[in-house]
Amino acid sequence: PLQKIGRKRILYRSGIEDTGMKIYVSATTVRSGSGTRQRPFMTIVEAAKVARAGDEVIVAPGIYREWVDPRNAGTEENRIVYRSEEMGKAVISGAEPVKNWENYKGDVWVARIGNGLFGDYNPYTTVVSGDWYFAPDPVHMGEVYLNGRAMYEVLRLEDVQKAEVFSLSWEGDFSRHKWYTEQDEGDTLIYANFLGLNPNEENVEINVRKNCFLPSKEGISYITLSGFTIKQAATQWAPPTAYQGGMVGPHWSKGWIIEDCEISDSRCSGISLEV
All residues at 6 or more sequence positions from 266 whose CB lies less than 8 Å from its CB, including other chains: 231, 232, 233, 235, 246, 247
All residues at 6 or more sequence positions from 54 whose CB lies less than 8 Å from its CB, including other chains: 19, 20, 21, 74, 75, 78, 79, 80
**Ranges of the chain whose pLDDT falls below 50:** 1-18
Among 174, 181, 221, CA closest to 197: 174
Q: Please give the pLDDT value at position 115.
A: 97
Among 44, 209, 203, 201, CA closest to 117: 209
Alpha carbon distance 132, 105 (integer Å): 39
Q: Please give the pLDDT value at position 241.
A: 83
Q: Please give the pLDDT value at position 13.
A: 41
Alpha carbon distance 125, 244 (integer Å): 20
**pLDDT tens figures, 67-126:** 999 999 999 999 999 999 999 999 999 999 999 999 999 999 999 999 999 999 999 999
Please state, in angstroms and as integers, the Cα–Cα distance from residue 242 to each residue in 130, 236, 237, 239, 266, following that order.
9, 12, 10, 6, 19
Q: Please give the pLDDT value at position 16.
A: 43
Q: What's the pTM? A: 0.90
Q: Please give the pLDDT value at position 275.
A: 53
Alpha carbon distance 232, 252 (integer Å): 23
Query: Could you tell me how far CA 250 lies from the centroid of its own chain?
Result: 15
Residue 29 CB-density burial (10 A; 0-12 exposed, 13-18 middle, 19+ buried): middle
Q: Please give the pLDDT value at position 10.
A: 45
How many other CB atoms sit within 10 Å of the CB of residue 66? 19
Please check whether residue 61 is in contact with residue 241, taking contact to mean a CB–CB distance below 8 angstroms. Answer: no
